[in-house]
Amino acid sequence: MAAKDDLGRRGEDVAVRYLEDRGLVVLSRNWRCRDGELDVVCTDRDRLVVCEVKTRSGTRYGPPAEAVTPRKAARIRRLAQQWLAAHHVRWCSVRFDVVAVLAPPGEPVTVQHYEAAF
Amino acid sequence: MPLGRAWSVALNGVDGHVVEVEADVGGGLPAVHLVGLPDAALHESRDRVRAAVVNSGREWPNERIVLALSPATMRKTGSAFDLALACAVLAAGPGVDQPELDGTVLLGELALDGRLRPVRGILPCLLAARAARMRRVVVPRAALAEAALVDGLEVHGAGSLDEVLRWLAGGLTLPRPGPALPGDEPEPADLADVVGQADARRALELAAAGGHHLMLVGPPGTGKTMLAQRMIGLLPRLTADEALALAAVRSVAGRLPADPLGTLAPLVAPHHSTSMAALIGGGSGIARPGAVSLAHRGILFLDEAPEFGRHLLDALRTPLEDGQVRLARADGTVVYPARFQLVLAANPCPCAPAHDRDCVCPSLTRRRYLGRLSGPLMDRVDLVARMYPITAFAVTGEDTEDTATVRARVAAARAAAAQRWAEHGWRTNGEVPGPALRSRFALAPSAVRPLELGLRSGELTARGADRALRLAWTVADLAGMARPDRAAVESALYYRDRRAA
């Protein structure tokens, strides 16, 4: 496994633990379809929360959350619709979050949660 | 506080408006949104400002930032907002105390490493800041000399964003501009250098004394250009207000000389291939000042005038009349001052031999050549001086007066004219309209007898008579007479436009 994939996997683990601590229930992890992948799909019992997890080991290339561009946001919206269709969910309100995980080597990991980021 | 506020100035021509820069930080993915009708250069300031802040060792808020420039409906151009944007963002965080920014106008473009770069138009920005009763202004250090021209404001010069931030925190004093000293301007070329040409010299003196537009016609190599260049030495020095108005135009054009408040009248000599935009002012978006405005209170010298496109020459008519140019563009109308004195130089014909008798042009070509100068334009030219080829190699005549001598006479004549017309709002004889000269300041019938004769015989048109009358007043002023007599009118007639004759 490439180092960056490993980092992403660890970041997602951290994010899921964080979300579960906040009382959310995780429904899917790394749900894939032809058009791409949703990192974490969970619910706060009222609505669906689609989470994009972005992990970086440093801010040399900018903070992690900045990598969620409008293009990426649009793709996640599209994927969310496909997820709803695939799981036969009729209608529900959806919130899109970003969880930015900063994991500098040898330092404590920080998590930043942007609720309803886009 | 998630909200930061700073102030800067947006320029519309030479008019500035104080702009409030607000930064709202927080609530969303990290991104910077700039609103308030910014142009492309201003849009790019998002990236410049961020790099400058980070490279100055400050923290860039890792949140959604909305930067608003108000009034939001006014278009804003250029990079002068960088410093204000940076400070507004930092004021939204703990970096800068908001009260320190209140009443402070921040001007300057940021380099990526945080240095503060000079921008065009600092002078009109400061005038706008003063008019808006702002407390103090920070300008790039390179613009301090320019900033010294405006008094009544606390102006500071900074070299970098870091310096500004430390100054705002109270840990650093920024240099203030020194007193605006009129620097040592190079003395313009002396009139004594011109060989002979007593007629044209006299015409130059009359033009300078009366503010008349002048045309020099003569074969090449007779010193038309030399004379025109020496005319600025004859004109009075600019007053402080005039120099400031000129400096504002130059500042907007990005053409401020090393000594920004020079009092020497400007000489602008565009080539005949000049474009309309360069001559009158222009450019997309907001129009920039052209040659007519850069020649404000000075001389616009058009060498080889018939070679200029007809549309260019005719475009000069409105500024000649109004003393300003009004340029309308998609983004708004700007008004630049353009009260200049026109000096035209022309050869008598296209082939232009040293001696006119050697001319090989058909008569029609000759007539057409000067005919390119349209009637309405020539109506505004009071003086047409013929120049003759130099016939002696070393003329050591007694008529080679130097600039200082002539300037003294010009100054006296101008003072007399200014005093006479003061209550009517005119400053020079050249500005007085014909009807006023004919009715309110009518001369004795004996004095205007030559005009009467000329009109009756058809040698003179009504407009030509007005021009001669106007010039006669200048002749009288130079001679120290209270009003022109017959001799003054006759000598004025000597300089009329005799192309038709």
Cα–Cα distance, B1 to B477 (Å, whole number): 69
Q: Which residues contact B13 (CB under 8 A, 6 or more apart)?
A: B252, B286, B287, B289, B327, B334, B335, B336
Rounded mean pLDDT of chain B? 87
Q: Which residues contact B419 (CB under 8 A, 6 or more apart)?
A: none
Looking at residue B501, its pLDDT comes to: 34
Mean pLDDT of B418-440: 88
B30 touches chain A (CB under 8 A): yes
Cα–Cα distance, B159 to B174 (Å, whole number): 9
Looking at residue A17, its pLDDT comes to: 92
Using CA atoms in the order B64, B68, B72, B78, what is the torsion angle rounded to 10 degrees? -110
Domain boundaries, chain A: 3-114
Identify residue B246 by its one-letter amino acid code.
Answer: L
* pLDDT tens-place string over residues B448-472: 998 999 889 888 888 888 888 999 9
Residue B62 has its nearest CB partner, among A63, A68, A98, at A63
**Chain B neighbors of A112, CB-CB under 8 A:** 62
Cα–Cα distance, B31 to B83 (Å, whole number): 19
Token output for A54: 């972005």
Residue A45 binned pLDDT confidence (cut-offs 50, 70, 90): confident
Instruction: Supply the pTM of this predicted model.
Output: 0.73
Identify residue B367 by its one-letter amino acid code.
Answer: R
Closest chain B residue to A60, measured at CA: B54
Q: Which residues contact B59 (CB under 8 A, 6 or more apart)?
A: B53, B93, B95
Instruction: Tell me if B29 and A114 make a contact (CB, 8 A cut-off).
Output: yes
> Yes or no: is domain B191-401 CATH 2.40.160.40?
no
**Chain A neighbors of B28, CB-CB under 8 A:** 114, 117-118
> Yes or no: is domain A3-114 CATH 3.40.630.10?
no
Fold of B3-168: Ribosomal Protein S5; domain 2 (3.30.230)
ipTM rounded to 2 decimals: 0.76
Token output for B106: 């921040």
* pLDDT tens-place string over residues B374-403: 888 888 888 998 888 877 665 555 557 888
Distance from CA of A69 to the nearest CA of B (A): 9
* pLDDT tens-place string over residues A12-32: 999 999 999 999 999 999 999
Looking at residue B500, its pLDDT comes to: 41
Closest chain A residue to B62, measured at CA: A63
Helices assigned H by DSSP within chain A: 3-21, 70-86
Token output for B405: 């001598």
A58 touches chain B (CB under 8 A): no
Q: In the block, which residue shows the tokens 């440093």? A: A58
For testing the chain B interface, which of A71, A99, A114 should be mutated: the one with the most B CBs within 10 Å? A114
B31 touches chain A (CB under 8 A): yes
Instruction: Tell me if A66 and B29 make a contact (CB, 8 A cut-off).
Output: yes
Mean pLDDT of B409-438: 90
Domain boundaries, chain B: 3-168, 191-401, 432-501
Mean pLDDT of B69-95: 90
For testing the chain A interface, which of B32, B60, B62, B63 should be mutated: the one with the most A CBs within 10 Å? B62
A-B Cβ pairs (cutoff 8 Å, strict): 19
